[in-house]
């Protein structure tokens, strides 16, 4: 299945954006982000700690809806999903 992964701000600089991923059926959100982030060590370390756990400030969205990082290990990714990964916002 095909999934679109989008990184923003500092994560975008390290990992790129608009990444189309051929993901396996049944993959959960945390695994997907881990696989994509593994393409760049600095990018991976910006998002995950040494235990492979999402850093507390990381924000995830699935199709525009916020998913708590604590739920990412049980959140299934579906064909056509758009996943966004970004640091704290700073608009205004």
Partner 1 sequence: MIAIQTGDVDIGDLITSAKRHGTGAIVVFDGIVRDDDIREMELEAYGEVAVPELEKIASEAKSNFNLLSVDIIHRIGRLAIGENILVIVVSAGHRKEAYEGSRFIIESIKAGVPIWKKELCKDGDRWVPGEHSHGCGPGK
Which parts of this chain interact with partner 1 (CB under 8 A)? 6, 8-10, 12, 59, 61, 64, 84, 86-92
Minimum distance of partner 1 from residue 11's CB (angstroms): 10
In DSSP notation, 11-46 reads HHHHH-SSEEEEPPTT-BHHHHHHHHHTTSHHHHHH
Q: Considering only CA atoms, which of 61, 51, 53 is closest in space to residue 8?
A: 61
CB of 13 to partner 1, least distance (A): 9
49/82 with CB nearer partner 1: 82
Q: How far is the CB of 57 from partner 1 (least distance, A)?
A: 8
Pick between residue 20 and residue 25 the one whose CB is nearest to partner 1: 20
Of residues 24 and 78, the one with the C-beta less far from partner 1: 78
Local structure of residue 48 (DSSP, 8 states): B
Whether the Cβ atoms of residue 11 and residue 87 lie closer than 8 Å to each other = yes
């Amino acid at each position: 299945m095909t999934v679109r992964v989008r990184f923003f701000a500092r994560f975008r600089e390290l990992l790129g954006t608009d990444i189309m991923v051929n993901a396996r059926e049944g993959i959960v959100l945390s695994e997907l982000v881990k696989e994509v982030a593994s393409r760049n060590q600095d990018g991976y370390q910006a998002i995950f700690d040494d235990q492979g756990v999402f850093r507390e400030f990381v924000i995830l969205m699935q199709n525009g809806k916020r998913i708590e990082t604590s739920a990412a290990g049980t959140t299934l990714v579906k064909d056509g999903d758009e996943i966004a990964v970004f640091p704290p916002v700073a608009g205004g």
